[in-house]
Structure 1
Amino acid sequence: MELPVIDLAPYLEIAAEGDLPNPASGLPELCREVSRILKETGALLVKDPRCTADNDRFIDMMEKYFEKPADSSACRTSLLHYQVPSLVDEDMQEKLRAMPKENQPLTPKGPDPKWRYMWRVGPRPLKTRFQELNSEPVIPEGFPEWKETMDSWGYKMISAIELAVAEMAGIGFGLPTDAFTSLMKQGSHLLAPTGSDLRRNGQEGTVFAGYHYDLNFLTIHGRSRFPGLNIWLRNGQKIAVKVPIGCLLIQTGKQLTIDAINVASEQNRSLWRVSSTLFAHIASDAVLKPLGHFAESPLSISTCVQVSLSNKSLQ
């Protein structure tokens, strides 16, 4: 199975004209398709014309960063508890055990052997009860291009969510266009690249990020230079995802494959696998509750119904 690709260009063009939603444009149908895919599978590929060469520039810089010695001044960062954005609870463990053998995820041996850096994207609230979720980032030494590169790619990724997918999902679910984006204002959005050292941990079967789901609203990431991504759809089916050139993935996960390592070694390329993940959050102080007509649903007795688009993945 291949994930469908949604071209965001038609929506962006009409949104720029301020004519949303226009029934004659065909956009409501496209928006319903976005909401349907997210509801039924939990994963979506999008093509955003605003995201071009910045992905490669970002990965080039992050490869150089992760290749620095771990004890160098460039790699010193602050440890904040917002750096734990995923969860595997007991209910999920039971579902894993009940899965058919071919869909069961590999079991990591010990902690995930990956590195992660967090960079805040967008403005934060002046007053908040959750200051740790809105802290200033740390800029590594020796990277004068760091802030501009991180901000450029981060803002493009969050724009793909805020100014396209989240609005389209709202329309598709029969809600106001800003139903989700209004809750995302000044959210603790994090550009969170991960680095996996394939030279040191390139053995077949190595899992760099175990099965989990993310504790945020929507997750998006760009194309990595190494394959190995597996996700689980809402029906429990495991699929290997290939992100086409020029596309972004809504929902994320990582697992190693071997062939690409051999090719990269022969070409003397970096053997750090960089994932340009961005976690888009509802604002820290916002209250999660059913929205619009969903408040009348029997399911409204359950909390966080409106964030059912959150990622359920991943390995």
Structure 2
Amino acid sequence: MTTLILPAIDLGLYLNYKDDPSAIDECKKAAKALQDYGALLVKDPRVTEADNSTFIDLMEDYFNQPFEVKLKDARPEIGYQVGVTPEFKEEPKCQRDPDCQNIINRMPEESRPLIPTGPDPKWRFFWRIGELPEETKFPQLNAEPVVPDSFKDTWSAIMNQRGNQMHQAVVGVAEMLSIGFGLPANTFPDLTKCGPHLLAPTGIDLNKYGKLGVICAGFHYDINFLTIHGKSRFPGLHIWPRNGSAKMQVHVPEGHLLVQAGKQLEWLTGGEVTAGYHEVVVTEATLQAIENAKRIRPNRPLWRISSTFFLHIASDNILQPLEIFNSNSTLYPAIPTGDQIKRELELISLMKA
């Protein structure tokens, strides 16, 4: 399997020289990258590796707590949309989605994902970021955040620091995409105002699940608008680029963030951009990183943490293709965004119909 070098865009260049032709070229490059690959790399000087490291340390300590302690932070009555989601709770979408299964069946054998036999062994924590709507028809998706009892003194400050950094970075990418597609700069950012944005780290206990071939997160796409990731300490992410390339490992260089297209972007572009399928598995490179971590940081919890943020379209906005995109109304009918999210959560067993 080869490593995919994704196109990289310079968000700092755009922010500092918005009217310069070179900045406009970066915007077009961003749009083309998501059309071709469903993903891109972005460099934002405001987002630092030091802050990412502080955040990952916090989440390692949180997920390393006993099961019963973490379970106090779960909110199953609202589909786990804030607080913690326990391991073996979220089912990979393809286990229930015939369309997804057909995609896998059409792949060459060597490009297929590993097939899960049950729910993912990952934990997740959802921390709300950004302004909440004053009124909404979808209160389950716009709940107040949960602060764990054991981390009351440090939690909010670190989570908000990291979450606000990631939020401003991915909104900057959304603005670049608007321009790259020939739309007013505020088109996509305005649709995300008061959305149910989530700082959404996952945690995998590598003492229990750090074995070759273990599926940490089964083959799926993200259900939101754009997803942005900081660099993980343990590799294992594979993506399937739209441009016809086979299954690829992703390398995120130091100082960069990874952005992936979600289902809401696919909907708004009428399929011009498609949500990117991906999986996280334990690979030989993961095992090597585990051995390095045991040697370099022997007294730290051995958890794989994803530094992930989900940018959403506001729940009460109508999700439908924008006028400039040719669209199939059967595939992308007009629907309240909150209903789109609830349907997707039902498919992965986080919310009941």
TM over 0.5: yes
Cross-structure match for 1:180? 188
Cross-structure match for 1:5? 8
Cross-structure match for 2:79? 81
Distance 1:254 1:63 in 2: 18
AA aligned to 1:87 is K
1:141 corresponds, among 149, 171, 176, to 149
Cross-structure match for 1:190? 198
1:108 corresponds, among 99, 102, 116, to 116
Distance 1:58 1:185 in 2: 25
1:255 corresponds, among 262, 270, 281, to 281
Cross-structure match for 1:227? 235
Contact 1:37-1:43 within 8 A present in 2 as well: yes
* Shift, 1:123, TM fit: 0.7
AA aligned to 2:321 is P
Distance 2:224 2:217 in 1: 17
SS of structure 1 residue aligned to 2:118: coil
Output one character per residue of 1:203-260: Cα deviation in whole Å (capped at 9) or x when no partner. Answer: 1110100000111101111101111111111136211011111111112742222111
* Shift, 1:105, TM fit: 0.3
SS of structure 2 residue aligned to 1:199: helix
Matched, 1:202 2:202: no
Deviates more, 1:81-90 or 1:257-266: 81-90
Change (3 A) 1:174 1:303: same
Distance 1:289 1:6 in 2: 27
* Shift, 1:304, TM fit: 6.6
Matched, 1:56 2:53: yes
Change (3 A) 1:217 1:73: closer
Distance 1:73 1:180 in 2: 36
* Shift, 1:67, TM fit: 0.7
Cross-structure match for 1:289? 320
Cross-structure match for 1:310? none
Alignment of 1:155-166 (within 5 A): 155-162=164-171, 164-166=172-174
SS of structure 2 residue aligned to 1:107: coil
Contact 2:92-2:218 within 8 A present in 1 as well: no
Contact 1:65-1:74 within 8 A present in 2 as well: no
* Shift, 1:82, TM fit: 5.6
Distance 1:216 1:85 in 2: 17
Cross-structure match for 1:244? 253
Deviates more, 1:252-261 or 1:77-86: 77-86
Distance 2:165 2:333 in 1: 27
Matched, 1:66 2:67: no
TM-score, scaled to structure 2:
0.79
AA aligned to 1:145 is T
Contact 2:10-2:43 within 8 A present in 1 as well: yes
Distance 1:61 1:75 in 2: 18
AA aligned to 2:79 is H
In structure 1, the gaps of 5 or more residues are 15-19, 308-315
Cross-structure match for 1:36? 32
Contact 1:74-1:142 within 8 A present in 2 as well: no
Distance 2:91 2:44 in 1: 25
* Shift, 1:102, TM fit: 1.5
Change (3 A) 1:7 1:253: farther
* Shift, 1:66, TM fit: 0.7
Output one character per residue of 1:42-79: Cα deviation in whole Å (capped at 9) or x when no partner. Answer: 01111110001211110010000011111126853222
- Number of residues paired by the alignment? 296
Cross-structure match for 1:313? none
Contact 1:65-1:75 within 8 A present in 2 as well: no
Contact 1:229-1:241 within 8 A present in 2 as well: yes
Contact 1:216-1:280 within 8 A present in 2 as well: yes
* Shift, 1:159, TM fit: 0.7
Contact 1:179-1:291 within 8 A present in 2 as well: no
CA RMSD of aligned residues (A): 2.1
